Chain A
Amino acid sequence: MAEILVLVDHADGVVRKPALELLTLARRLGTPVAVVLGAGDAAAGIAAKAGEYGAERVITADAAQFADFLVVPKVDALQQIAGSVNPAAVLVTSSGEGKEIAARLALRLGSGVITDAVDLASSEGGPVATQSVFAASFTVQSRVSHGTPVITVKPNATSPEAAPAAGAVESVAVEFSAAASGTKVTSRTPRVSSGRPELTEAAIVVSGGRGVGAADGFSVVEALADSLGAAVGASRAAVDAGWYPHSNQVGQTGKQVSPQLYIANGISGAIQHRAGMQTSKTIVVVNKDPEAPIFELADFGVVGDLFAVLPQLTDEINTRKG
């Protein structure tokens, strides 16, 4: 069967969940071959995990370049590996970096590139990608029509399913191009975890907007999130005001989330915010303005002051949990 190259994203020596989703999707298209770059001592553990999720082969490469320079070292590695594997497609996680790697790789391979797929299917003409476009108001199906399809897939496109495979590890030495050392990473500060679920991975997201009024106000949003085991999101207005970190922003220029349940509090529902949340399964809204456009999306809405509604809801949830 055709081999599908999967770039396995990892952080702090651990495979990130979207990579397991990619391996799961890759099995629909062919035989997954995982690529693990710059994992150092963690490579063996990451390779084992990739094997658990269906990677028949795991190709690892380690070099200081992967951490010291931006994007290009990974493109060099993938280009070299694609040259020897000759895959039927290359899958990469849709992050800022993932999309840049995919695009440069596609250009070098003479291939078309599709970004932000939310689903993948196999067809005679190659992988068919589903994308959600124009602020999630259209669903598009597209294909790469030239070369080896290079496709980036959004987190949460599927749920990871284990399917143990050989996971045979091969390590390769990458010959880096002159361009690889073009952009130096002079320092890197890992994001501190809030202890809550990752925004893009969470089953429930509780968000606050300008209606939260102040940084302190987010404590009622966080309390509700914690009662549900949810991630916390914020509108750009709340982020721009400095009330909540940008890494929690939901929307066009933040994270695009598609959880089982999205609770929007004090958010009006601008198109750029909708772009990040309107594919959520169930949407709940708390807003004091009955005319707020976000109510158009609501499966259940409460017209009211979030500072009254949220604490009552949180208490009720905590009581029911006993």
Chain B
Amino acid sequence: MSLRIVVCVKYVPDATGDRRFGEDFTTDRDGVDGLLSELDEYGVEQALRIAEASGDAEVTVVTVGPDDAKDALRKALSMGADKAVHVNDDDLHGTDALGTSLVLAKAVEQAGFDLVVCGMASTDGTMGVVPALLAERLGVPQVTLLSEVAVEGGVVTGRRDGDAATEYLQAQLPAVVSVTDQSGEARYPSFKGIMAAKKKPVQSLDLDDLGIEAEQVGLAGAWTAVDSAAARPARTQGTIVKDEGEGGKQLAAFLAAQKFI
């Protein structure tokens, strides 16, 4: 039977642009350019590599997000994924990580899966908890933060570089994995891939389709609340000198004046 791989991806505001909050302190997703989170490209890449190695696999990408999030799905499809699921519902505005994991879990279950692949974190919220939450909700092993991953004979293995140690992990499928930006550069979509993506199926689902009540998600359903968000005052530039043979000494004088030496 063919290996069913589901990749969870997020459409995020471009980190090199001007990211900000809306009036309700949710991330402003309308007034800024968005894209497929770069960290999720690594998830798509590893899913495709696992699919290629297995020879008989189907890769589905799933996103939860507003209308524009379909751009993230298109990118993943043009990289080589087979089909896509877009969960989109006005009631999702302001959903927290716990709520997102609920929606993703339902969508992944509905799609059918042997392996769920995620990026290590989103580039906007940067919490890095959705993969673990998905595993908890789906009741399957989490094999996360991997810099190397392989699937063979119904077993997933991988390397996790933690703070204190490097660990090798192993679990039976079905499982949830997340991969880091050390797992291998993501491929660029080819022209052929971009053309092919236009014909690949994208299924749209709303909360009803997933059997989720509006109260379970959105800003009102979130179990955390933001009281304030303030732009950090810009740093003021200090003294800049050009090295004309004394740069190191000038720097030493600065460090001494600041009592670092």
Contacts and interface: CB of A to CB of B under 8 A. Distances in A.
Nearest to B137: A107
A179 B139 contact: yes
Contact of A100 (B144, B230, B260): B144
Interface in B159-201: 160-172, 175, 180-182
A157 B87 CA distance: 37
Interface in A125-164: 128, 132-147
A133 B169 contact: no
Interface string B100-129: 010000000000000000001101101111
Interface in A104-120: 104, 106-108, 111-116
B243 A137 contact: no
Contact of A135 (B15, B157, B239): B15
A315 interface: yes
Nearest to A144: B224
A284 interface: yes
Contact of A95 (B163, B167, B240): B163
Contact of A308 (B167, B182, B247): B247
B227 A313 contact: no
B2 interface: no
B39 interface: yes
Contact of A317 (B131, B241, B261): B261
A68 to B, nearest CB: 11
* Residue in A96, A128, A313 whose Cβ sees the most chain B Cβ within 10 Å: A96
A298 B144 contact: no
Contact of B260 (A228, A309, A315): A228
B143 interface: yes
A103 B129 contact: yes
Given A96-B145, A139-B232, A321-B261, A302 B241 contact: yes
A136 B230 CA distance: 11
Contacts of B144: 70-71, 96, 100
A242 B19 CA distance: 31
B225 A143 contact: yes
A303 B251 CA distance: 11
Interface in A287-308: 290, 295-305, 308
Interface stretch (A49-57, A81-89, A183-191, A211-219): A183-191
Interface string B29-55: 000000000010000000000000000
A170 interface: no
B222 A134 contact: no
B228 interface: yes
Interface string B131-154: 111011101111111010000000
B255 interface: yes
Nearest to A128: B227
Contacts of A184: 169-171
B83 to A, nearest CB: 28
Interface string B71-108: 00000000000000000000000001110010000000
Interface residues of B, number: 85
A299 B121 CA distance: 32
A136 to B, nearest CB: 6
Interface string A267-293: 000011000001000111010001000
Contacts of B226: 140-142
B1 interface: no
Contacts of B15: 134-135, 252, 271-272
A143 B126 CA distance: 17
A74 to B, nearest CB: 12
Interface string B1-35: 00000000000000110011100010000000000
A182 B171 contact: yes
A104 to B, nearest CB: 5
Contact of B247 (A261, A312, A321): A312
A300 B164 contact: no
Contacts of B139: 179
A231 to B, nearest CB: 14
Interface string B236-260: 0111111101111111101110101
Nearest to B25: A140
A44 interface: no
Contacts of A99: 127-129, 132
Given A100-B144, A186-B168, A114 B128 contact: no
A96 B163 CA distance: 8
A185 B234 CA distance: 44
A70 to B, nearest CB: 6
A11 interface: yes
A27 interface: no
Given A138-B21, A138-B230, A246-B161, A188 B167 contact: yes
Contact of B248 (A100, A132, A133, A309): A309
**Chain A to chain B: the 7 pairs with minimum beta-carbon distance, closest first:** A312-B248, A304-B243, A112-B223, A182-B141, A103-B129, A146-B223, A313-B248
12 contacts: A16-B164, A96-B160, A132-B232, A134-B15, A134-B124, A145-B223, A145-B225, A146-B224, A261-B258, A297-B237, A312-B246, A320-B256
Given A115-B128, A311-B248, 13 more contacts: A104-B136, A134-B124, A138-B20, A140-B25, A183-B171, A261-B255, A295-B237, A299-B235, A300-B254, A302-B240, A302-B242, A302-B247, A309-B248
